[in-house]
Structure 1
Amino acid sequence: MAAPYHKRFDLISNSLTSSHFHSIARFPDSPNSFTRTRKFPLNEVIYSFLFKRGLTATMEVYHYLKRKGSSVMTLSKQAFLSQRKKVNPEAFRFLNLQYLSHFYTQDTPKTWHNYLVFAIDGSRMEVPNSKENRLFFSQNGNRFGETSVRAQTSGLMDVFNAFLIDLQIDSLHVGEKNLAKKNLLSSESIPFQAPRLVLFDRGYPSLDLIHFIEKQKLSYLIRIPSTIYQKERAQLTSLDSSVFLSCTYSRLRTMKRVEPELAKDFEANKGIMTRMIQLPLENGQMNVFMTNLPATITREEILELYKKRWAIEKLWQTVKNKLKIEQVSGKSPVCVYQDFLAQSLVYNMVQDVMSHLNQKETKKKINENIAIGLWKDQLIDIVLEKDDKEKLLRFKKLEEDILRAVYLPRDLQRNKRKYKHHNKYKQNQKPSF
């Protein structure tokens, strides 16, 4: 019997040959791209992105044609790169949207108090140090005056279902809050069947973001730093109470500069009512959270939920160190967008397989690094297989191989982190492909 994720894999494969997808994959100024029959058609170009190993273009071509069954190399490096440059990065966003839409409408997603729980976080990504990228993404300097090219990214993740819902990529000059708004707007294209709750860390709290979230009819849980809303916090009478965040002159002045239209709404409403929850720490300090969740959900439940935000921190570690998302195959901003968005789709497909297999293991967990390596190695054989029965057998073999790489989670003692210089080749982060 086929697993639910098999249908989603087939959905992606079938989409690649549709005329609608061809139109999405073309750049607006190149309407004739992918209209002729070639040795390296669009669907195979997309596969080459998904199965990317981080090798030279020549070796990428060699490995792909070898797995495809070609006995000799009939595709030049130049032709390979020329075809890839024609792909609009939005094609990968479209495929990811299709994949996730199928899951949220055909499966039963995991929820918390009937909420789909998401987390938003930003991360700076390394990109090739080319002139184009320096102009587009800007440079990140250090105290010695040395600069390196970095892209600012922002991810929206479903923490219980382990999917990367949306990935935004932009210049370092674009703030995380603005990218977070783009994450939420982009996610509106997915037909979610339950109310949504978004978790934020200390870099996000602001009146304009809260107003935006409530306007989108979402719930939020935000950890706030000790330096803001001090007047309101001084008025708190309990560890869990409602408070009115007034729109003071200084807050309004900043808002008028950034979002003038939003400032007009605040002048009329005078502020926002929110719920503040405090958590006393052992060192005498206080962690404070803001939320618009109802009082029926207790303070203890909310504080326990915030710990789940750690999932998005693990996501960045996976895409950077295991999927090697920063090993971009070209030097232009378009190549950066292509590879980043393609690997976000790969991340979701791998997590889908792991979620399915983890249901069979009650105590043990799947080794994510090994699962990624096996997925990269075997899925090309699956998508190129024409016979349905043989394809199902290949899926089962992939599952069996992944299930051999399981481990028993250990609750280790938490010690203070030790910082030390690393060797070039790390012993605890070896690549799986």
Structure 2
Amino acid sequence: MNPEIESLYVGLVSHLRNRLESEAFLKRHRQREKDFTRQRCLPFVFVVLLLINMMKRSLQDELDEFYKALSQEKVASRQVSKSAFSQARQKLKASAFVELNEEQVKYFYEHFAPKRWHGFRLTAIDGTLLDVPDNEATRREFGVWGSRHDGKGSPKARVSQLFDVLNEVTINAQIAPKKCGERRLACRHLAFCGINDFVLLDRGYPAFWLFAAIRHRQAHFCARLDGTQWDVAQAFIQSGELEREIVLTPSAAALKTCKSYNLPTQALTLRLVRVELPSGEIEVLITSLLDTAAFPAALFQALYHQRWPVEEDYKRLQSRFEIENWSGTSVTAVYQDFHATIFTKNFAAILVQPAQPVVSHLHRSAKHAYKVNMTNLISKLKDTLLFLFWDHTISPLLHALWQQMIRTTEPIRPHRNSVRHKKVKRRRFPLNYKPTR
């Protein structure tokens, strides 16, 4: 690997390690002033490392393997009980992982050369629901979704992310009770948007006040309008026009919401673009990009399709990272696991950046383009993360990971359309039946 690129990654790991080991970081993210003050078998750094190491097996097994890895023993021995870990994690705020993620994302955009679209950082906002452990505390915190079968329902958390679709990096992630709507979470993400950002939105998001919030941040957007709910979309479809500039004025409800968020209430000059799908269905896109010469209508079908990686990222979170396979049952555990997983996922996405061009070059004569197998990389990061953030031999570990990435690839088969089944049985992760490996 190029020495300059290697030094960037060594710098990233060193920066995160220094932050993690600093006294100020510990003080910011412990629950009480007296927490993590005594020398114990589970110091602050160890608790953080355990949680970013993708704890999906039985808790005691994870703890035994953690100390086995650090001490380089052949057989795992009992150093810490699961009860001790459960008590230690209650002293740690989930904000520790939020800060670590913000630091690595900031480092990535400041020191690396991220991909852009026409000079914009191309992002998408999307959300989903996650099953959380079912107990009284989680039901109070997150709320319950009803069931047609027993009427009892189950607690679910609403999650959302601002996702860089070209670099597959989560810029900001939110987890909240179900009563917190997707648009409200989207508005929280906008604190991380600026003048060179472009936001893609699915048809559940469009609202005057959200458009106003994006433009207030001097960012741009493209969203899909639901033709059954927007009069301007219906009229545009019936007109047969390819594109049209419109002036969108706020309704009384939109004015009220704008004022509650201290947003400007002036009418917005926007642009509608017609997209005809191969199936014959007509989509209406609305965008703040008004320059038809720089951004012709022909660009927008492919542009809107660029939001698909955020959908794939949720699939990766749920199936590869097993994010719903929580390492604990408490509300604290849910927040910790969620933000720790986002950190680890982003670290993997940043780590793969220099390997992908090598893979593309090696397979340049193949029938299909090839990419790094992310599932394999995620598997290889298990325990390797511990050594990266604890050991002093960063470069050899990075080289070993990059070699694995270059050797383990998969073809990209474009234009594959599978039937999207809306009713898919969700995989469950019973807390009493954890896997052994």
Shorter-chain TM-score tier = 0.7 to 0.9
Matches of 2:174 and 2:418 in 1, distance apart?
35
Task: Find 2:157's aligned residue among 151, 156, 171.
Answer: 151
TM-score by length of 1: 0.88
Q: Distance in 1 between matches of 2:18 and 2:308?
A: 35
Distance in 1 separating the partners of 2:152 and 2:303: 40
Work out the CA distance in 2 between the residues paired with 1:171 and 1:372: 28
**Contact 1:255–1:262, Cα closer than 8 Å, also in 2:** no
The superposition leaves residues 1-28 of structure 1 with CA deviations (integer Å, 9 ceiling, x where unpaired) of 325233212211121111221122112x
Instruction: Give the Cα–Cα distance (whole angstroms) in 2 for the partners of residues 285 and 113 of structure 1.
Output: 28
Task: Report SS of the residue matched to 2:386.
Answer: helix
CA contact (8 A) 2:51 2:340 kept: yes
Q: Distance in 2 between matches of 1:297 and 1:262?
A: 31
Distance 2:290 2:263 in 1: 28
In 2, distance between residues paired with 1:179 and 1:254? 17
Is 1:405 paired with 2:411?
no
Q: What is the count of residue pairs matched by the alignment?
A: 411
Q: Relative to structure 1, is the Cα distance of residues 208 and 109 closer, same or farther in structure 2, using a 3 angstrom cutoff?
A: same
- Out of 385, 400, 411, the residue aligned to residue 391 of structure 2 is 385
Q: CA 1:160 to 1:260, structure 2 compared with 1: closer, same or farther past 3 Å?
A: same
What is the SS of the residue equivalent to 2:306?
helix
Contact 1:373 1:432 in 2 (8 A): no
Q: CA deviation at 1:148?
A: 1.3
Partner of 2:309: 311
Residue 52 (structure 2) pairs with residue 56 (structure 1): no
Offset of 1:195 from its aligned partner? Answer: 0.4
Once the two structures are overlaid, the 10-residue window that deviates more, 285-294 or 334-343, is: 285-294
Equivalent in 301, 319, 342 of residue 340 of structure 2: 342
Task: Give the drift of 1:228.
Answer: 2.6
Shift of 1:294: 3.3
Q: Percentage identity across aligned positions? A: 26
Partner AA of 1:344 in structure 2:
I
Structure 2's unaligned 5+ residue stretches are 361-368, 429-434
Higher deviation after alignment, 298-307 or 72-81: 72-81
Question: Match of 1:55, as an amino acid?
Answer: R
Matches within 5 A, 1:13-52: 13-27=17-31, 30-52=32-54
SS in 2 for 1:361: helix
| More displaced stretch, 137-146 vs 338-347 | 137-146
C-alpha distance after superposition, 1:161-189 (max 9, x if no partner): 1101111111111100000011122x25x
Counterpart among 2, 7, 12 of residue 8 in structure 1: 12
2:99 maps to what in 1? 94
Counterpart check, 1:122 vs 2:127: yes
**CA deviation after TM superposition for structure 1 residue 75, in Å:** 1.7
Question: Secondary structure of the residue that 1:120 maps to in structure 2?
Answer: strand
CA distance in 2, matches of 1:51, 1:345: 10
Moved over 6 A (4+): 418-425
Residue 428 of structure 1 corresponds to which residue in structure 2? none
Matched, 1:370 2:371: no
Tell me if structure 1 keeps the 8 A contact 2:270–2:290. Answer: no
Q: Is the 8 A contact 2:168 2:349 kept in 1?
A: yes
Paired residue secondary structure (2:137): helix
Taking the TM superposition and a 5 Å limit, the aligned residue runs for 1:21-420 are 21-27=25-31, 30-69=32-71, 72-144=77-149, 145-185=151-191, 187=192, 195-231=196-232, 233-234=234-235, 238-247=241-250, 251-253=251-253, 255-256=255-256, 258=257, 260-261=259-260, 265-266=264-265, 269=266, 271-282=267-278, 284-295=280-291, 296-362=294-360, 363-386=369-392, 390-411=393-414, 413-414=416-417, 416=419
State the distance in 2 between where 1:284 and 1:174 align.
36
Q: 1:124, 1:150 within 8 Å by CA — same for their partners in 2? A: yes
CA distance in 2: counterparts of 1:292 and 1:412, whole angstroms: 28
| RMSD (Å) for aligned C-alpha atoms | 2.6
Contact 1:57 1:81 in 2 (8 A): no
Residues in 1 aligned to 2:103 and 2:424: alpha-carbon distance in whole angstroms: 43
- Contact 2:216–2:264 (8 Å) recurs in 1: no
TM superposition score normalised by structure 2: 0.87
Cα distance in 2, alignment partners of residues 120 and 44 from structure 1: 33
Report deviation, 1:414.
3.2
Distance 1:219 1:46, change over 3 A: same
Amino acid at match of 1:42: F
For the Cα contact (< 8 Å) 1:382–1:394, is it kept in 2? yes
Alpha-carbon distance in 2 for matches of 1:375, 1:232: 47
Moved more, 340-349 or 107-116: 107-116
* Residues in 2 aligned to 1:252 and 1:327: alpha-carbon distance in whole angstroms: 44
Is the contact made by 2:69 and 2:383 (CA closer than 8 Å) also made in structure 1? no
Distance 1:42 1:111, change over 3 A: same
Once the 2 structures are TM-superposed, how far is the Cα of residue 402 of structure 1 from its aligned partner?
2.8
Q: Give how far 1:31 is off.
A: 1.5
Secondary structure at the counterpart of residue 129 of structure 2: strand
